[in-house]
Structure 1
Amino acid sequence: MRTGFIMKFYFNYSIQCKEMPRTYEKKRSPAQYDITDLKKAVFDVVNKKMTFRQAEEYYHIPKTVIFNRIKGRKTPVMIMGSGRTPAIPKEIEDEIVRCLITRSEMGIPCDKKEMRELVGEYIKASGLKTPFKNNVPGEDWYLGFMKRNPQLSLKKPEHLQKVRKDARNPFVVYDFYDKLQKVIEEHQLADKPQFVFNADESGFHHDPSRIRAIGVKGKALSRVSGGSGRESTTVLACVSADGSVLPPLIIFKGAAVQARWTSTDGFPGTLYATSKNGWMEEAQFLNWFANGFIPFVKEIRSKESTLNQSALLVYDGHCSHISVKIIEIALQNNIVLMRLPSHLTDKMQPLDKCVFGPIKTHWEKKLIAYGKTQMGKGCMRLSKQLFSQFIGETWKEAMSADNIISGFLSTGLFPVDRFKFPESEFPSKLLQDYHKSLNASDMVSAQSEAVLEIESKQFLTYFMFI
């Protein structure tokens, strides 16, 4: 019975502790004197300008406070502030803050528990004496630490592959924008958005998975579909900076395209191809480039009577997009090919930034609507012909010109704006190195201009005396 009473008491106490808010109130009223006055009082007493009693009467500070500060009994004399002595010295705490910021910039941030454990390891290694249990700081220290350092916050990190993190280099990114600006100027494309294109492929799943649904809280939620949930088909999309859309290229898994896989209800001009694994390869991209993209560009040139106008195609760095044959055809047809920096398409590619998201959402809604019509009819599997039809309908209904134009604007591809890629995405050290290199190059160019100016003056002087 006594054991039951103890267990009940412990259970109730635990609940109260969990519900107890962490809003502490100081039992003593705050000091009635200013920190500046305390510094002056300590200085005057130490330098024998005043006695303890004279300092107490003049500054209205208890002489015991002045005495204890000078002797360092409660708080060291060099720490002029209210409250107890910090468990970890401020200079060490500042170093911890710098380490946490550096780790976050490297893409390996600490969670709350890991941060406290790392601090504990540092305390043990440096031999600091702290009131922490097992030298590991607790929840109260963590809350105080975060309050003392408001530049830090606990947040959910965005998933970022290491290759993408390493690719966020200002030297690489700004070099791309500089080259893009040069291409736009050399080929007179600044006022011709209809000749600036972006192409990229993406996988379209055969079963809906993106759209959330309502279910019982605490229980897993499932949606009945006709496939395994892992099957997808690759589709190549291409858009221009004026909001125009090219017909898609659908790549099925197989040896050859069969007539029953196509659809008369698809998007006009849709191209079809096959590959062994259903992915984009050089042959498929070459087929689209020669039979889809170039005829589209020629048609625009013919309509606007600008037969010699260059066109720019910006694409990602997939190996299937790079071959001698493709480059040869591009040169023959006055097409400029420009590759985006690797692993940065999520920030720099218009299709990834503003187009594929709405398209995929519309696609999933179409799959869900189709699934409802097939309930109770047996197999709900999506056939290749229906896939072609649904892709065509999605291209007609969801390829918004506003989204496409917004994609080019927000990535800074057209009009060219390098500052659309935020500096906050770069590691601070690399950004500092980049700015230093700019300053150095500016100094060199300024010196070169000065030398040229002096040489030109010398030449004119020489010329006048001949």
Structure 2
Amino acid sequence: MFRIKLTQPADRSRLRLWSPTAMTSAYKMVKDEGIPVYRAAKLNGVPLTTLRDRVDNRISIDCVKSGPCPVLSLDEEAKLCEHLKDLASVGYGYTRAEVVNLASDYAVSLGKRKDDQPFTLNWFYNFIKRWPELNVVRPSSLSEQRAKCASEESVTKYFNELERILRKYDLFDKPHLIYNIDEKGINTEYKPPSVVSGKDCKAQVIMSERGKTVTIIGAGNAAGMQIPPYFVFPGVRMLDGLLEGKSPGADGIMTPSGWSNSVVFKDYLQNHFMKFCQGRSDDTILILYDGHRSHISVDLVEWAKQQNIVLFVLPTHTSHILQPMDIGCFGPLQLKYAQECSKFARTHHRVVTRYDVCSLACKAYSFALSPLNLQASFNKAGIYPFKNSSSMVELLKSKIKPSELYIVDDEVTASGDHKKSETAENNFFDKKGGDVHIKIMKKKRKNINSIVGGKALEGETVEKMKKYIDESNSKISSNDPKKKKTKTPKNKKNSATSFNLQINDKQKPGPSKQNIELSEKSDLSDSENESEIPDEDKCCQCHQYYVDKHSHGAIEFTHWAQCDNATCSHWVHLKYCSPVHVVRKNTVFYCNCCL
């Protein structure tokens, strides 16, 4: 009888007791310095056979784990990795499933896999481990206008102009004179924060129905001082309860929509901002804000000039990377406001109403526009301490990358095609995703933001702005309103139904027939339309297209039918010019001419 010797299973923890760095070092010693394989393995503490397999090219030096080598080589995976990073940086990233499909197609094109042997998610997770520079993230949304306008050219021009203004008014070392003003919309409906709940229940938050937006106008300087909030409530009459619980200095106003406008913004600057801002002797104050139409007016520029204030408009659609309030203040304000609303609802056991918005928003405003946040926001925006254009372009390189997709049409070659490399047609990744790099934009339309965007409102810029406004006003006054043209309904020869109704513009309450206009003007318009209609499309009995309005009711639903006689094919008004009222499907109909 034979005895079977039971062996202990291999201890997986003892496999591959060498590091990839040691294996690479030993490989280089053999290849570059000519040291024997046995000696290099002993010096670096790697297995002899493992090193010999890599020296003899039986296994790639890039393989750092036990088992078979990856299907794609290091260079091939590097190209795939670069393609994934490139597409993600411009806003067209791949999902995990799409990466697996892309890699499968790539392996098939290289002849390393068959169509019926695609990669799986296990390959994807191993691929991510081999390339730690890749990561699965949830991308943030970016509007197309921001992707187009946040370009290297606009950032460079903006910082060159800002440097000129700071040098002209000697503001490089005066952060208390550099302000940023922006608006933020909040609502009684908020995004609730994460809460702790049981695993077997679905947590919910009770909140009020979505109401109208309340706008907060906020401001602060580079030294870290905030201007008290200014609220714009929706409505007509200001109620005392709306500002209950406000922070010291906070104020508000009413507009029908709850949004700011040119009148509100000017009132804010004159009566609220000037009350709390620093440096009101003979110093020049610099105010940076976005180019919303409510911020640009000739009256506002003239007032700012009298008050020794320089208004500086940010480039169009670049506030997400250049405006300090958007960079580091309004994000925390939104989060803090949601937390305060959640805490208020839990404490008072009721929903947040418009009378609670002011007190809750003031707490969030004081927290978000703290001195530390304001100073960090101005620093990150490159305003104070000032950073030149080349430094900011380098810092914002990843955020202005999507603008490289868009090419203005006057920069395209004469043939109308963007230049490509000679191997673009043969490149697998160019065929899969290369077309996103060719998006030709039309020439920029001339508007007020193209004149004032990224510039200080002074000198030649103000003159151009006044000229543009005057030209726009003259065009509006000279152009007559366009008259709407009504089209005559076309005859459809299936089972055509004609609806002919003319209603008086000044209708009065009453029966439907009372407001029907049967004037000579309508008859003339019908007669003019009748002359344009061919005879074969008219009724063969009354020789008209429209039924006589005076002999029948005020509203006619005129039904047509075509004679089934092949030699006739005339059209007839049912009910009015024929005893037949309805023609059903698969029934034969003959007009009076053929009966």
**TM bucket normalised to smaller:** 0.5 to 0.7
Q: Which runs of 5+ in 2 are unaligned?
A: 1-11, 42-47, 405-595
Equivalences for residues 325-336 of structure 1 within 5 A: 325-336=299-310
- Residue 214 in 1 paired to residue 203 in 2? no
Relative to structure 1, is the Cα distance of residues 132 and 195 closer, same or farther in structure 2, using a 3 angstrom cutoff?
A: same
Aligned residues of 1:257 and 1:273 also touching (Cα < 8 A): no
Aligned residues of 1:39 and 1:80 also touching (Cα < 8 A): no
SS of 2:136's partner is coil
Q: Per residue, is there more helix in 1 or in 2?
A: 1
Q: Once the 2 structures are TM-superposed, how far is the Cα of residue 338 of structure 1 from its aligned partner?
A: 1.6
Relative to structure 1, is the Cα distance of residues 410 and 211 closer, same or farther in structure 2, using a 3 angstrom cutoff?
A: same
Aligned to 2:291: 317
Relative to structure 1, is the Cα distance of residues 91 and 340 closer, same or farther in structure 2, using a 3 angstrom cutoff?
A: same
Aligned to 1:45: none
Give TM-score, length-normalised by structure 1: 0.65
What CA distance in whole angstroms lies between the structure 1 residues aligned with 2:361 and 2:62? 68
413-422 or 402-411: which moved more? 413-422
1:294-350 Cα shifts (integer Å, max 9, x gaps)? 4545x741xxxx33x211111123232222332232223222112233444333322
- Residue 407 in 1 paired to residue 387 in 2? no
Equivalent AA in structure 2 for residue 108 of structure 1 = Y
Aligned to 1:134: 116
- Percentage of identical aligned residues: 22
Aligned residues of 1:317 and 1:340 also touching (Cα < 8 A): yes
What CA distance in whole angstroms lies between the structure 2 residues aligned with 1:246 and 1:198? 10
What CA distance in whole angstroms lies between the structure 2 residues aligned with 1:162 and 1:395? 26
Q: Once the 2 structures are TM-superposed, how far is the Cα of residue 35 of structure 1 from its aligned partner?
A: 5.6
Aligned residues of 2:234 and 2:255 also touching (Cα < 8 A): yes
What CA distance in whole angstroms lies between the structure 1 residues aligned with 2:111 and 2:136? 31
Aligned residues of 1:236 and 1:248 also touching (Cα < 8 A): yes
Equivalences for residues 39-118 of structure 1 within 5 A: 87-88=71-72, 91-118=75-102
Aligned residues of 1:177 and 1:416 also touching (Cα < 8 A): no
Aligned to 2:169: 187
Aligned to 2:450: none
SS of 2:214's partner is strand
1:200-228 Cα shifts (integer Å, max 9, x gaps)? 11122324534321112364311223x11
Equivalent AA in structure 2 for residue 363 of structure 1 = Y
Relative to structure 1, is the Cα distance of residues 56 and 391 closer, same or farther in structure 2, using a 3 angstrom cutoff?
A: closer
Relative to structure 1, is the Cα distance of residues 430 and 249 closer, same or farther in structure 2, using a 3 angstrom cutoff?
A: closer
Q: Once the 2 structures are TM-superposed, how far is the Cα of residue 234 of structure 1 from its aligned partner?
A: 1.0
| Aligned residue among 408, 421, 425 for 2:398 | 425
What CA distance in whole angstroms lies between the structure 1 residues aligned with 2:27 and 2:104? 32
Q: Which runs of 5+ in 1 are unaligned?
A: 1-21, 41-54, 432-466
Which one scores higher on RCO, CA 8 angstroms, separation ≥ 6? Answer: 1
Relative to structure 1, is the Cα distance of residues 101 and 253 closer, same or farther in structure 2, using a 3 angstrom cutoff?
A: same
Give TM-score, length-normalised by structure 2: 0.52
Equivalent AA in structure 2 for residue 155 of structure 1 = V
Equivalent AA in structure 1 for residue 116 of structure 2 = N
Relative to structure 1, is the Cα distance of residues 145 and 257 closer, same or farther in structure 2, using a 3 angstrom cutoff?
A: same
What CA distance in whole angstroms lies between the structure 1 residues aligned with 2:343 and 2:399? 43
What CA distance in whole angstroms lies between the structure 1 residues aligned with 2:332 and 2:348? 25
What CA distance in whole angstroms lies between the structure 1 residues aligned with 2:128 and 2:366? 51
1:242-271 Cα shifts (integer Å, max 9, x gaps)? 2222232211112x2324355365344434
SS of 2:260's partner is coil
Aligned residues of 2:184 and 2:217 also touching (Cα < 8 A): yes
Aligned residues of 1:168 and 1:425 also touching (Cα < 8 A): no
What CA distance in whole angstroms lies between the structure 1 residues aligned with 2:386 and 2:27? 54
Equivalent AA in structure 1 for residue 196 of structure 2 = I
Relative to structure 1, is the Cα distance of residues 187 and 23 closer, same or farther in structure 2, using a 3 angstrom cutoff?
A: farther
1:379-400 Cα shifts (integer Å, max 9, x gaps)? 645243x433444555567642
Larger radius of gyration: 2
Relative to structure 1, is the Cα distance of residues 35 and 211 closer, same or farther in structure 2, using a 3 angstrom cutoff?
A: closer
Equivalent AA in structure 2 for residue 244 of structure 1 = M
Aligned to 1:159: 140
1:22-71 Cα shifts (integer Å, max 9, x gaps)? 99968xxx99xx7679979xxxxxxxxxxxxxx999x9999xx99xx7xx
Equivalent AA in structure 2 for residue 311 of structure 1 = I
Relative to structure 1, is the Cα distance of residues 93 and 397 closer, same or farther in structure 2, using a 3 angstrom cutoff?
A: closer
SS of 2:287's partner is strand
RMSD: 4.3
| Aligned residue among 346, 365, 369 for 2:320 | 346
Q: Once the 2 structures are TM-superposed, how far is the Cα of residue 370 of structure 1 from its aligned partner?
A: 3.4
Aligned to 2:460: none
- Residue 289 in 1 paired to residue 269 in 2? yes
What CA distance in whole angstroms lies between the structure 2 residues aligned with 1:380 and 1:399? 26
Equivalences for residues 180-329 of structure 1 within 5 A: 180-217=162-199, 219-225=201-207, 227-229=208-210, 231-254=212-235, 256-263=236-243, 265-297=245-277, 300-301=279-280, 306-307=281-282, 309-329=283-303
Aligned to 1:449: none
